Structure 1
Amino acid sequence: MADPSWHSAIAAGLLAMHQRDGNYFNTLIQSAFLPARSRLFAAFRQPMSKVRYILIGEGPYPREESATGVCFMDGAVSRLWAEDGSGLSKKVNRATSLRNFIKMLLVAAGALDPAHTSGSALQKVSSSAIEAYSPWIQQLAELQQHLHEQGFLLLNASLVFRSEVAPAKDGKAWQPFLQEVLSAIAEHAARSGTELPSLILWGKIAEQLRQIPVVADFPHIIAEHPYNLSFIRNETMQALFYPMHLLSRHRS
């Protein structure tokens, strides 16, 4: 699934993990980890040359259908809006991080008051969104495509979720992998004479990546994880995403 531009970085990253802990992969393959193996490197479909932003969350959703290998893109979600216009769809509401990200985008767009992001306020947006010729996108796949077009690499601090292992522990184990990935991106930028992508770290586990030496070379923004309600009102995130018009069908 990964674009060929990532193959050497992925191989180097996995080797670095093995060198750090020679038993990690033996233990991993004996567990029921998520996402499924075919989705593990799905985020790397974005070619390295197209990356302008590196968004790193915490870890995959803890549900098999939901864990796609792409940060906060829930595979169980198709429709964004409830069919009756009552708000966001039930599956979006179950995916807390995705729900709060969408609400943040609506606040940034001026469609929601940051003090009123649910109930009748959200119903007003939703009822408009499902009308014919609505300016809003309808499917999660459209949101993911818009992020892709903006140059996002949507990763997690840990590429796996295991119910029996604390996410922070797996996040620590994957740091050597991300060191190699980020180093490859930095080397590509140097060779091509382009600017380094912006690194966006969501949550405390992702914030631990600042311990990796190469991270200091990247411009980076730190925010709480979107499963926190305060994320909806995060003005730094609003300012970053507002110009992208990710929820708009017809973006300027």
Structure 2
Amino acid sequence: MTIPSPILQALDLAHSSWRPVLLQGLEAMAAANPAYLPALAADDYLPTEMRLFAAFSLPMAQVRYVLVGEGPYPRAESATGVCFMDGAVRGLWSEEADGGLSKPVNKATSLRNFMKMLLVADGQLAQDNTAGAALAAVASRARAGGAIATLAEMQARLTEQGFLLLNASLVFRAHVAPAIDARAWLPFFETVVAALAPQAPKLVLWGKIAEQLNKLPTVKDMPQIVAEHPYNLSFIANKDMHALFGPMNLLKP
């Protein structure tokens, strides 16, 4: 079964340990829906710059967690191929004396709420007071060296913990509902999860679209934590997320 060459070329950004599995996953997609990948290859989609499989840069043997969001950010500069890692974000903290998180972080709602969740889990913020003066005080300490400074450092910390940062749909298309694209990628995810099963990684599923992966038998049998998507304000106070991420100290310098 032929996979379109633009899709195959995107495999170059994945770690070599993943290539046989990703090819098998693409073949499973093609078998389930022969028209999907050719149509995708001829369409405009995010992420650009051949970053479709950029999340698979972590060697397969090092995966301890599979974090699944919904889909790429709907902005070309933001969609990196890595779940909730917004390419438009550099610094995490505002440079203003009375500022909190940086403007690009505040624009990326999921990332903003993830940051606040980490700060609540770390005891730096109260879950009912995550803005204004309280957040400005946290940012002031961070700028003085009390926390990591950039999103790149955050991504590196997550990678060190063994996170594979995926989305339920690896693409965003303005004219296609995310749930439809996510449905087409289900055979791909089934292949990926089956390949990881001997390592027994923990699945972290964010949002209703990611939760649909539980329809797959291989996913249903894996240890997992299900939470609302981080674009919901309630995510900040999610105790399961506090228990998972708090001990990792992702913001520590």
Q: Shorter-chain TM-score: which interval?
A: over 0.9
Q: What are the Cα deviations for residues 196-237 of structure 1, in whole angstroms up to 9, with x where unaligned?
A: 000000000000000011012210110000000000000110
SS in 1 for 2:50: helix
Corresponding residue to 2:112 among 71, 76, 99: 99
Shift of 1:124: 1.1
Q: 2:196 maps to which residue?
A: 185
Counterpart residue type for residue 107 of structure 1: V
Query: Hey, what's the Cα distance between the residues in 2 that align with 1:39 and 1:103?
Result: 28
Q: State the distance in 2 between where 1:116 and 1:124 align.
A: 12
Per-residue Cα deviation, 1:64-93 (whole angstroms, up to 9, x for no partner): 110000000001100000111401000001
1:67 paired with 2:71, answer no
Of 135, 138, 143, 1:125 maps to 138
SS of residue paired to 1:153 = strand
Q: Who is 1:137 aligned against?
A: 148
Measured in 2, the distance between the counterparts of 1:185 and 1:98 equals 27
Q: Deviations over 1:39-75 (max 9, x none)?
A: 1101100011100000000000001110000000001
Secondary structure of the structure 1 residue equivalent to 2:146: coil
Distance between the aligned counterparts of 2:229 and 2:120, measured in 1?
17
Hey, what does 2:27 align to over in structure 1?
15
Alignment-derived partner of residue 47 in structure 1: 59
**Alpha-carbon deviation of 1:26?**
2.1
- Is 1:158 the counterpart of 2:162? The answer is no
Letter aligned with residue 38 of structure 1: M
Q: What residue number does 2:38 align with?
A: 26
| 2:124 equivalent in structure 1 | 111
**Other-structure match for 1:146:** 157
What is the number of equivalent residue pairs in this alignment? 240
What SS is found at the alignment partner of 2:229?
coil
Q: Aligned partners of 1:34, 1:149: CA distance in 2, in Å?
A: 26
- 2:221 is equivalent to residue 217 of structure 1: yes
After superposition, the CA RMSD in angstroms is 0.9
Moved over 6 A (4+): none
Which segments of 5 or more consecutive residues in structure 2 lack a partner in the other structure?
1-12
What percent of counterpart residues are identical?
A: 59
Aligned match for 1:230, one of 229, 234, 244: 234
Q: How far 1:38 moved relative to its partner?
A: 1.6
* Contact preservation (8 Å) 1:84, 1:127: no
Residue identity in the other structure for 2:67: L
Which of 89, 96, 99 is the equivalent residue of 1:84? 96
> Quick one: distance in 1 between partners of 2:49 and 2:35?
18
CA shift for structure 1 position 120: 1.4
Q: 1-side partners of 2:100 and 2:44: how far apart?
A: 34
Q: Which of the residues 69, 80, 93 maps onto 1:57? A: 69
Q: Which residue of 2 aligns with 1:35?
A: 47
Find the residue that maps to 1:130 and give its secondary structure. helix
SS at match of 1:54: strand
Q: Secondary structure at the match of 1:106?
A: helix
How far did residue 129 of structure 1 move? 1.2
